Amino acid sequence: MQNNLSRTWLVNQFCIVFVAVLTLHVAGATGLARADSDSGSWNVRDFDAAGDGKTDDTAAFQKAMDSATKAGGGVVYAPAGNYFFAGHLNVPNAVTLAGIWQSVPAHNGIRDQGLPKPTDDGTTFLVTEGVGSEDGPAFITLNTNSTLKGVVLYYPEQNVDDIPKPYPWAISMRGKNPAVLAVEMLNPYNGIDATRNERHLIRDVHGQPIRRGVLVDSIYDIGRIENVHFNPWWSMKPKLFQWQMENGEAFIFGRSDWQYVTNTFCFGYKIGYKFIKSKAGVCNGNFLGIGADNCHTALVVEQCAPYGLLITNGEFVSFRGPDPTMIEVTRNNTGSARFVNCAFWGPCNQIAKIAGTGTVGFGDCTFVQWGGKEKTRSAIQARSGTVLIRGCEFRQDRPQIRLGKDVSRAVIAENIFTGSERIDNQSEGNVQIGLNVSD
């Protein structure tokens, strides 16, 4: 009798302990899930994102981001995988869509050098929607305080050696303070549409956008672009690269009230940097350490603001195309563009062609390898407007400056010429030339 009571008591105690442990386990698991949500972090895998490169993950990603915004915002994390998208994504306010990369990755030479493909490592988005047309929504739209970070955008249906297929913008930035950080845009047709927002931040972005890299317009509060480099890492195959050289524009600036651009570079475009007048207006800004190499025209100013484009420590190279030119200021320009401590080399036809009624200045710049095949063209050819050329070094024994009859004002002073001074002054305006030093 006593043994039966002991057995009954032991069984009861075991059941109590088992139920207690099970309760603690369930409570702990529920607590962990709640803590993960409370910490502001969501994983797309928990929303059935496959990441296998075949399954359409559009709905899973959007569901994860919508869950984050219902909780007031946070980070939606996409671990390493190849995420296939047949549709597009909208990143809500205060949500960050993040992959594994903390610094922008590189997949240069992936076709010819046996280096990792974008589908071999990291967080890669395979973009397919909208092929054949530039119209339609961007693949990813960012909104107020939303961020895209640490991913690779790859268009698997583009051909490395063919005329590229049009697509809508890869990324559009709207609202206030949208950001793109540490993103590799490997081969989009159109890269980033940074229009109609305030205080955008584009930092650590590399890749090869084929038709357009970054478009800035309708910005009424300061926009920032930092460490953005566009190189033909994905393809330099003849047919595609020739099309890019004949059609591509790396950076395009319409209306922006003080745009700040630092440490940017592009290689292999028809135009490296282009300043236009849009329906919203024109650009003024501070451009430091910008570069354009192997572009038909490195920098074009169609129109800019009177308060100016301040371009410092730039480097510009043009040697291909029908008329290789570093700087072209067109006849519509009425604003001011200043180049300070910049380097220009070719071999090109001319360093600069200047028209319009605005002001163009070169200060403490270095000019090399101009003149065309006959080496008879002037480095700087001003047709009209106001021209300032001061403290520059002309390192070739070739014609340095030509002023057309419609140049209204010019100061050419304190320059260093290689060989004799060769300034062709046809201006009917007020021109001051002096204190220049030649061999």
pLDDT at 35: 34
Q: Which residue has the higher pLDDT, 108 or 20?
A: 108
pLDDT band (50, 70, 90) for residue 119: confident
pLDDT at 112: 52
pLDDT tens, position by position, 408-431: 999 999 999 999 999 999 999 999
Secondary structure class of 6 (helix, strand, coil)? helix
pLDDT tens, position by position, 212-264: 999 999 999 999 999 999 999 999 999 999 999 999 999 999 999 999 999 99
Which residue, among 230, 271, 233, has the nearest Cα to 253 in the 3D structure? Answer: 271
* pLDDT at residue 55 is higher than 70: yes
CA 263 to chain centroid = 11
The arithmetic mean of pLDDT across residues 323-337, rounded, is 98
CB count in 10 Å sphere of residue 65: 24
pLDDT band (50, 70, 90) for residue 107: confident
pLDDT tens, position by position, 167-203: 999 999 999 999 999 999 999 999 999 999 999 999 9
* DSSP character at residue 200: -
* pLDDT at residue 103 is higher than 50: yes
Averaged pLDDT of the chain:
91
Which residue, among 37, 148, 43, 133, has the nearest Cα to 97 in the 3D structure? Answer: 148
pLDDT at 177: 98
Options 3.30.1380, 2.160.20, 1.10.3470, 2.30.30; CATH for 40-247 is: 2.160.20
* pLDDT at residue 113 is higher than 60: no
pLDDT band (50, 70, 90) for residue 274: very high
pLDDT tens, position by position, 368-390: 999 999 999 999 999 999 999 99
* pLDDT at residue 348 is higher than 80: yes
pLDDT at 91: 98
pLDDT tens, position by position, 145-174: 999 999 999 999 999 999 999 999 999 999
pLDDT at 120: 87
* pLDDT at residue 12 is higher than 70: no
pLDDT at 16: 44
pLDDT band (50, 70, 90) for residue 110: low
pLDDT at 29: 37
CB 421 within 8 A of CB 401: no
- Cα separation, 412 vs 345, in Å, equals 21
Which residue, among 153, 66, 40, has the nearest Cα to 104 in the 3D structure? Answer: 153
Give the start-to-end residue ranges of the domains of the chain. Answer: 40-247, 250-439
pLDDT tens, position by position, 23-37: 334 333 333 333 355
pLDDT band (50, 70, 90) for residue 117: confident
Long-range interactions of 59-65: CB distance < 8 A, separation 24+ = 59/87, 61/85, 61/89, 61/97, 62/89, 62/90, 65/89, 65/90, 65/91, 65/92, 65/95, 65/97
The arithmetic mean of pLDDT across residues 275-289, rounded, is 98
Query: For residue 159, what are its two tokens?
Result: 């051909």
pLDDT band (50, 70, 90) for residue 439: confident
pLDDT band (50, 70, 90) for residue 304: very high
DSSP letter string, 66-134 = HHHHHTT-EEEE--SEEEEESS-EEE-TTEEEE-S-SS----TTTTTS-PPPTTTSSEEEEE-TTTT-S
pLDDT at 39: 67
pLDDT band (50, 70, 90) for residue 118: confident
pLDDT at 22: 37
pLDDT band (50, 70, 90) for residue 208: very high
